[in-house]
């Protein structure tokens, strides 16, 4: 799957463009099977092409399972690293500089509680526990934005699973999101960081629900509900709840039926008028990107009126954290007083995000990681 497939595949059953894109994906995948190729897509494809350029192209050794333990510092300058390899500590000199690219701290429960006040429901790499950030701090680096993350909404995971970060699913028509009491609280189609902020502000510890009618299930791709075994586990864990009517669904979710009915009726009125009078869903180009253009007058709004109705339990998720080492335009680590730590560079989620607390658009994490990684490498080459 290519990144540009994602938005169209979400409506493979509702628009001709989505269907054609879906068919091309299926044929591409089958073509790979026939040719005996293992095709990879989206983020894995990006990482694979980097590996090809660096490992095969430049013959740079790639050591896996070799975590950074500490930096080697000589006076004021970082001159190497100590890593753990095959049960031993290995020291590597780095004349030009050391680049930290060890991700955020989304899987560090203690740091999450300390900086975010919640355990978090991360979707990022399980190895991201903030080690490189701590190591940079020991070498004198300043950190910022530690209370931030690439927040978003995720469908809760059954025991042992990973929460499913949702974007298109909550933006498509015939669905809405409520808090634990059955009230809408935000524009469901807004950017994931904005929605995450609204969830944190509204109720940091409470449950949320994505509620959809039968047309949402039939027309749109729900990436988190494709596997029948997973669906069974979600039903058993109370994460996926079905009912024939809105009132029955409310009862199953522990909500006041009149409350949820009122929420749905108000929302349905907005959907028919094409204007979300409470939260402006469908007003922005961003909202409409993940909408269904065949639904009029507003591609993000469709009334919930056809059962069965399904609710999915939603938690405050994230794609990773935003806080970390403060850097300059060349990715050089800075101290609290703004001076440069010579020889130490940082890019990606172990740096404080250049985007601050916002989400300007797709690629807001990988874009800066790549740009500052390149700028840092060029700076090292010049040094």
Ligand X SMILES: Cc1cc2nc3c(=O)[nH]c(=O)nc-3n(C[C@H](O)[C@H](O)[C@H](O)COP(=O)(O)OP(=O)(O)OC[C@H]3O[C@@H](n4cnc5c(N)ncnc54)[C@H](O)[C@@H]3O)c2cc1C
With CB under 6 A as the contact rule, the residue among 7, 25, 45, 123 that binds ligand X is 123
Q: Does 374 bind ligand X (CB under 6 A)?
A: no
CA-CA distance, 112 to 129, in Å (whole number)? 10
Binders of ligand X among residues 38 to 67 (CB under 6 A) are 43, 67
Closer Cβ to ligand X, 2 or 218, answer by number: 2
- Taking the complex as a whole, the smallest distance from the CB of residue 110 to ligand X amounts, in Å, to 15
Report which DSSP code applies to 331.
Answer: -
Cβ 91 to ligand X, closest distance in Å?
15
Least distance from ligand X to the Cβ atom of residue 341, Å: 18
Tell me if 313 sits within 8 A of 319, measured CB to CB.
no
According to CB under 6 A, which one of 319, 334, 341, 352 is a site residue for ligand X?
319
Quick check: 250 binds ligand X (CB under 6 A)? no
Longest dimension (CA), the chain: 70
Identity of the residue, 255 or 347, whose beta carbon is nearer to ligand X in the bound complex: 347
Could you give the string, one character per residue 103-122, with x where binding to ligand X holds by CB under 6 A and - elsewhere? x-------------------
Q: Which is nearer to ligand X, 123 or 358 (CB)?
A: 123
Of 149-188, binders to ligand X (CB under 6 A) are 165
Query: What's the angle, vertex CA 22, arms to CA 16 and CA 25, rounded to 5?
Result: 145
Q: If binding is defined by CB under 6 A, does position 125 make contact with ligand X?
A: yes
Number of residues that bind ligand X (CB under 6 A): 25
Q: Give the nearest distance from C-beta 145 to ligand X in angstroms.
A: 14
Give the residue, chosen from 124, 302, 317, 343, that forms a contact with ligand X under the rule CB under 6 A: 124
- Residue with Cβ nearer ligand X (128 or 310): 128
DSSP string of 20-31?
HHHHHHHHHHHH
Where does the chain have alpha helices with state H?
5-9, 16-34, 42-51, 109-116, 131-138, 168-171, 192-202, 214-219, 228-236, 246-253, 257-273, 285-289, 366-382
Residue 196: CB minimum distance to ligand X, A: 13
- Cβ pair 373, 99 in contact under 8 A: yes
Q: Tokens 């995450």 map to which residue?
A: 196
Q: Looking at 206-214, 238-246, 334-342, 362-370, which segment touches ligand X (CB under 6 A)?
A: 362-370
Q: Closest Cα partner for 181 from 149, 147, 211?
A: 211
- Judged by beta carbon, residue 295 or residue 369, the one nearer ligand X is 369
Residues 64-103: x/- map of binding to ligand X (CB under 6 A)?
Answer: ---xx--------------------------------xxx
Task: Specify whether the CB–CB gap between 326 and 345 falls below 8 A.
Answer: no
Q: Would you tell me the crossing angle of helices 257-273 and 246-253 to the nearest 10 degrees?
A: 130
**Residues in the chain, overall count:** 383
How near is the Cβ of 244 to ligand X at its closest, in Å?
33
Q: Determine how many CB atoms are found less than 10 A away from the CB of residue 348.
A: 23
DSSP label of 356: T
Interface residues toward ligand X, by CB under 6 A: 43, 67-68, 101-103, 123-125, 127-128, 131-132, 165, 319-320, 348-349, 362-367, 369
């Amino acid at each position: 799957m290519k990144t540009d497939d994602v938005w169209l595949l979400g409506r493979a059953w509702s628009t001709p463009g989505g269907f054609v894109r879906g068919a091309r994906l299926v044929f591409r995948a089958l073509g790979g099977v026939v040719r005996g190729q293992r095709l990879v897509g989206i983020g894995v494809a990006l990482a694979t092409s980097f590996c090809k350029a660096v490992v095969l192209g430049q013959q740079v050794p790639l050591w896996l399972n070799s975590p950074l333990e500490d930096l080697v510092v000589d006076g004021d300058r970082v001159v190497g690293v100590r890593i753990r390899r095959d049960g031993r500590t290995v020291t590597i000199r780095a004349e030009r500089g050391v680049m930290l690219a060890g991700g955020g701290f989304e899987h560090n429960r203690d740091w999450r509680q300390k900086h975010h006040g919640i355990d978090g429901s991360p979707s990022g790499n399980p190895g991201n526990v903030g080690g490189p950030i701590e190591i940079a701090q020991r070498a004198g680096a300043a950190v910022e934005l530690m209370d931030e993350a690439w927040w978003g909404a995720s469908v809760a995971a059954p025991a042992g699973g990973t929460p499913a970060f949702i974007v298109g699913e909550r933006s498509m028509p015939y669905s809405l999101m409520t808090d634990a009491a059955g009230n809408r609280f935000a524009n469901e189609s807004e950017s994931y960081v904005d929605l995450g902020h609204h969830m944190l502000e509204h109720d940091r510890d409470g449950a949320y629900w994505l509620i959809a009618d039968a047309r949402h299930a039939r027309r749109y791709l729900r990436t988190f509900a494709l596997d029948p075994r997973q669906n069974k586990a979600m039903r058993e864990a109370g994460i996926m709840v079905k009912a024939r009517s809105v009132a029955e669904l409310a009862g199953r979710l522990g909500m006041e039926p009149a409350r949820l009915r009122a929420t749905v009726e108000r929302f349905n009125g907005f959907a028919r008028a094409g204007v979300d009078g409470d939260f402006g869903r469908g007003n922005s180009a961003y909202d409409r990107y993940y909408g269904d253009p065949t639904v009029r007058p507003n591609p993000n709004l469709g009334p919930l009126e056809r059962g069965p109705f399904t609710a999915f339990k939603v938690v405050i998720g994230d794609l990773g954290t935003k806080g970390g080492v403060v850097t300059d335009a060349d990715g050089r680590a800075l101290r609290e007083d703004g001076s440069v730590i010579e020889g130490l560079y940082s890019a990606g989620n172990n740096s404080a995000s250049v985007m601050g607390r916002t989400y300007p658009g797709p690629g807001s994490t990988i874009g800066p990681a790549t740009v500052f990684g390149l700028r840092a490498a060029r700076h090292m080459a010049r040094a």
